[in-house]
């Protein structure tokens, strides 16, 4: 008989400290991402889906949905592994700003900075506020803000 053993890569609440800085891997945003997100969300706004219309906009081309950028950022944060197996809940998004568009072909990554930690013993962990900066391959910040996540404690 074999036993499946899984190891958690995630950081526990006690391991987060104000000032920690982490950087995710990159991911290139594709036309397929935009089309798939439009179908999933029902947002077929021409700025996202009509190449000819988009030529007449200030951006001169189709842009990714802002919410698609947030969704990709969430995935990139998870790919860092710091919350794998330890996140209890995604609690809130604060002060989120969309600073510039994410374009088809942009490769984005996320830089994370821990801003605040607060123990919540009744939940078996604590609250961690992380500042996220989503940057494109030119180093420009495309969006940024604060996310609050609830993270499990080592001891329950």
Q: In which residue are the tokens 């900075």 written? A: 113
Which tens digits make up the pLDDT trace of 19-67? 999 999 999 999 999 999 999 999 999 999 999 999 999 999 999 999 9
Q: Which domain holds residue 139?
A: 13-152
Which tens digits make up the pLDDT trace of 58-115? 999 999 999 999 999 999 999 999 999 999 999 999 999 999 999 999 999 999 999 9
Q: Does residue 34 belong to any structural domain of this protein? A: yes
Q: Does residue 1 belong to any structural domain of this protein? A: no
Total domains, the chain: 1
For position 88, which CATH number holds?
Answer: 3.10.129.10
Q: Does residue 7 belong to any structural domain of this protein? A: no
Distance set, CA 115 to CA 127, 139, 145 (Å): 11, 22, 11
Contact call for residues 16 and 114 (beta carbons, < 8 A)? yes
Q: What angle do CA 88, 131, 125 make, to 5 degrees?
A: 25
Task: Produce one character per residue of 35-71: b if its CB has 16 or more CB atoms within 10 Å, e if not.
Answer: eebbeeeebeeebbbeeeebeeeeeeebbbbbebbbb
- Average pLDDT, rounded, for the chain: 94
């Amino acid at each position: 008989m074999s036993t499946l053993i899984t190891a958690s890569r995630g950081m526990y609440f006690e391991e987060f400290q104000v000032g920690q800085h982490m950087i995710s891997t990159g991911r290139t945003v594709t036309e397929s991402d935009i089309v798939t997100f439009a179908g999933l969300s029902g947002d077929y706004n021409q700025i996202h889906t009509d190449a000819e219309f988009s030529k007449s906009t200030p951006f001169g081309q189709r842009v990714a949905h802002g919410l698609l950028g947030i969704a990709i950022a969430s995935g990139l944060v998870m790919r860092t592994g710091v919350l794998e197996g330890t996140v209890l809940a995604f609690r809130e998004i604060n002060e989120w700003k969309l600073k510039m568009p994410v374009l088809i072909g942009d490769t984005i990554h996320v830089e994370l900075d821990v801003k605040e930690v607060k123990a919540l013993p009744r939940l078996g962990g604590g609250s961690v506020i992380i500042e996220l900066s989503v940057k494109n391959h030119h180093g420009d910040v495309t969006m940024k803000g604060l996310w609050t996540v609830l993270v499990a404690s080592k001891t329950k």
